[in-house]
Amino acid sequence: MFNADAYIASSPNAISKNEFRQRQSRLLSQLEDDEILIITARKPSTRSNDVEYPFRNSSDMLYLCGWTEPQSILFAHKKEGDWSVELFVQPRNILMEIWHGRRPGIEGAVNNWPIDEAHSIEDFKEILNNVLAQSSKVYIRGGLDSTVDIMVKEAIEARDRPRQQLGNGPTAILDPSMMIAELRLRKSEAEIELMRHACKVSSCAHIEAMRNSSEGIGEWQLQAIIEGYFQWNGQSWAYPSIVGFGENATILHYHQNDCRCEGEGIVLIDAGSEFNGYAADITRSWPTNGCFTEAQREIYELVLSAQKAAIEQCRVGNPFSAPHEAARNALAEGIINLGISEQSLEESLAKDGDLGKWYMHNTGHWIGLDVHDVGIYKPNGEARLFEEGMVITVEPGLYFGAWRDDVNVPSKYANIGVRIEDDVLITANGPDVLSKDCPKEIDELEAIIGSNS
Ligand code: GLY
Ligand code: MN
Ligand code: MN
């Protein structure tokens, strides 16, 4: 049944040490002398007694040095025009490693990661106190690890008297998130290759689910095919997979995935893998029995044409809102033509107009190390203009959930939910759809669905 060989290709190289150093340089060159920057790991979280959720480091830590271990702090310090990057890590400890796995330790970190010095995490407080005495501003993103936040706050408070007497010591805590987000927004060649690979594996995973679709298959079984494919290729999911059949397809963040696909319904699968920290985010919608009904076809074709119109707008110099406007226009026109709305185009597009009943989310978001990646959409209140290297999802949909009691759902389209989502790189030559290997034309889908059963 499951054909895991559909896409086996060598993986692109991870980010080079040189590239990490360039990222650090671009960030730290914005700091003044005697300023320090602290990036903390996320605190591991408990799932149940003695069991933790799988650990994933903070995206800023991954971006700046690629360190994946918990209990770590990146500490950068600028002095006389020069900066150094130090990493505080868990030291080697045979007993802990027997239980929980190997640690690179201090020596491993300094030898193999793009940093200048490594120290034990246990020495952080003392070194922080020493360096703070000579520093002016502290850049720290709070909220990831409360222990570190408190340590930094106390260290700064402890400098209060000496600062008043000697005139030195930190006078401001600043959040570096926006500076880092601005760098992360534009992807390098190496990042694009990692994202392209995640998109290829995710596309093949969707194809595997299509090939193995049949009436009666469980949503959880389609999920297993998709996520098994990710794992087979050495990847994990970037976000919990959404596998919703029939009316479940009309729940935007449905995650129970515990119903059988019985009858003529459409299954909506929103699933993407993560590779070396970088996410793919792909949605496809298809009838599990392999044949679109007339009503399903009408809605599917409308969403597909809206998606293509939106992708067309992913061009250098266009505002990030242009794909959303194009998708909304196409969908509003379409629901009027299908008789779903009797409003004028302008009325349907208005804030409380008909379109909002059936299409209630945005058309896209930045994607990168976070599936909803960082980057201000409206710097200084103005829509961000697309530049080469930005990557955005394009994901219009229509959702006619007959279970809703706030609207009259047109009976012909009851319980049809369709979303089509691709990941699009902005290039000088126009939109480059990173997830283009995932089929979305109706005749392609009908030829693939069930072909492995
Ligand atoms: N998978 C979440 C989203 O599409 O935004
Ligand atoms: Mn998305
Ligand atoms: Mn998605």
In this structure, which topology does domain 4-182 adopt according to CATH?
Answer: Creatine Amidinohydrolase; Chain A, domain 1 (3.40.350)
- Six token digits for residue 174: 């600043």
DSSP character for 215? T
Tell me, in angstroms, the distance from the centre of ligand 3 to residue 19's CA. 29
> Can you give the pLDDT of all 453 residues of the chain as single tens digits?
456 566 666 788 899 999 999 999 999 999 999 999 999 999 999 999 999 999 999 999 999 999 999 999 999 998 888 999 999 999 999 999 999 999 999 999 999 999 999 999 999 999 998 998 888 899 999 899 999 999 888 888 887 777 777 777 777 899 999 999 999 999 999 999 999 999 999 999 999 999 999 999 999 999 999 999 999 999 999 999 999 999 999 999 999 999 999 999 999 999 999 999 999 999 999 999 999 999 999 999 999 999 999 999 999 999 999 999 999 999 999 999 999 999 999 999 999 999 999 999 999 999 999 999 999 999 999 999 999 999 999 999 999 999 999 999 999 999 999 999 999 999 999 999 999 999 999 999 999 999 997
Closest ligand 1 atom to 253 CA: 2
Q: What is the pLDDT of residue 249?
A: 98
E-strand stretches of 232-385: 236-237, 242-245, 266-271, 273-275, 278-279, 282-287
Exposed/middle/buried for residue 362 (C-beta within 10 Å: 0-12, 13-18, 19+): middle
Q: What is the pLDDT of residue 86?
A: 97
Tell me, in angstroms, the distance from the centre of ligand 2 to residue 208's CA. 21
Pocket probe for ligand 1: among 285, 393, 424, the residue whose CB has the most ligand atoms within 8 Å is: 393
Residues 6 or more apart in contact with residue 127 via CB below 8 angstroms: 75, 86, 88, 119
Closest ligand 1 atom to 272 CA: 1
Tell me, in angstroms, the distance from the centre of ligand 3 to residue 212's CA. 21
Q: What is the pLDDT of residue 1?
A: 47
In this structure, which topology does domain 186-448 adopt according to CATH?
Answer: Creatine Amidinohydrolase (3.90.230)
Q: What is the pLDDT of residue 2?
A: 53
Tell how far CA 309 is from the center of its chain.
23
Please state the pTM of the whole predicted model. Answer: 0.96
Measuring CA to CA, which residue among 433, 270, 323 is closest to residue 331? Answer: 323
Q: What is the pLDDT of residue 273?
A: 98
Q: How far apart are CA 93 and CA 168, in angstroms?
A: 38
The four Cα atoms 245, 249, 253, 254 give a dihedral, to 10 degrees, of -30
C-beta of residue 395 within 8 angstroms of C-beta of residue 417? no
Kindly state if the Cβ of 373 falls inside 6 Å of ligand 1: no
* Ion ligand 2: residue ranges with CB closer than 5 A: 281, 393
The catalytic residue positions are: 50, 253, 270, 281, 361, 365, 372, 395, 399, 419, 421
Which of 223-244 are b and which e, b meaning 16 or more Cβ less than 10 Å from the residue's Cβ? bbbbbebbebbebebbbebbbb
Tell me, in angstroms, the distance from the centre of ligand 1 to residue 284's CA. 12
Among all ligands shown, which has an atom nearest to the Cα of 367? 2
Q: What is the pLDDT of residue 5?
A: 65
177 phi-psi bin (left φ>0, alpha ψ -120 to 50, beta other): alpha
Q: What is the pLDDT of residue 133?
A: 83
Q: What is the pLDDT of residue 6?
A: 65
Residue ranges per structural domain of the chain: 4-182, 186-448
- Six token digits for residue 254: 């449905």
